Amino acid sequence: MKKIMIIGGGAAGMTAAAAAAQNSRKANQKPEICILEHKDIVGKKILSTGNGRCNLTNEVMNSDCYYSECPQIIGQILDKFGREEALKFFQELGIVVKSKKGYYYPRSEQAAAVRELFQIHLEHLGVEVRTNVHVKSIKKAGVHS
């Protein structure tokens, strides 16, 4: 059983933790995943997104929408996880999505609801969340198989 520690409980860290927990479950293993977050709650930045409404994804999603030194990588990422996958992901979290002029938002237009559903999802998957923890350094203590 691998123990996974994720530093930073933003959108990326929470999504990674949820994916790892789901993979553990598929392998019939108890997830041992912990998020270390130095703010008082996980997903705090989500609260400011889309002017507090959280723009979940967009009708037009391609590599031209991103700045990158390597746009082909953006294309490869979006081929694997584009608009449809994002919408499915949010719907599985329990978010009812609506479209407005090509922008997708939660029907409630409340970024706080998105953050909260992320947190509930992590609890449901058995991910441990430790807040007010600031990671200063990482040391390799040994290699486990």
Ligand X SMILES: Cc1cc2nc3c(=O)[nH]c(=O)nc-3n(C[C@H](O)[C@H](O)[C@H](O)COP(=O)(O)OP(=O)(O)OC[C@H]3O[C@@H](n4cnc5c(N)ncnc54)[C@H](O)[C@@H]3O)c2cc1C
Q: How far is the CB of 66 from ligand X (least distance, A)?
A: 11
Of the residues 32, 39, 93, 125, which one makes contact with ligand X according to CB under 6 A:
39
Q: Which residues contact 28 (CB under 8 A, 6 or more apart)?
A: none
Q: Does 23 bind ligand X (CB under 6 A)?
A: no
β-sheet with 97-100: strand ranges across: 57-58, 103-106, 97-100
Specify burial of residue 56 (Cβ count, 10 A radius: 0-12, 13-18, 19+): buried
Of the residues 6, 9, 20, 33, which one makes contact with ligand X according to CB under 6 A:
9
Binding mask 108-137 for ligand X (x = CB under 6 A): --------------------------xx--
Helix (H, G, I), strand (E, B) or coil at 106: strand
Q: Does 49 bind ligand X (CB under 6 A)?
A: yes
Tokens encoding 23: 């993979």
Size of the site for ligand X (CB under 6 A): 20
Task: Using CB positions, name the residue nearest to ligand X.
Answer: 10
Of the residues 6, 10, 24, 122, which one makes contact with ligand X according to CB under 6 A:
10
∠ at Cα 21 (16, 22), nearest 5°? 100
Interface residue list for ligand X (CB under 6 A): 7-13, 36-39, 44-45, 48-50, 54-55, 134-135
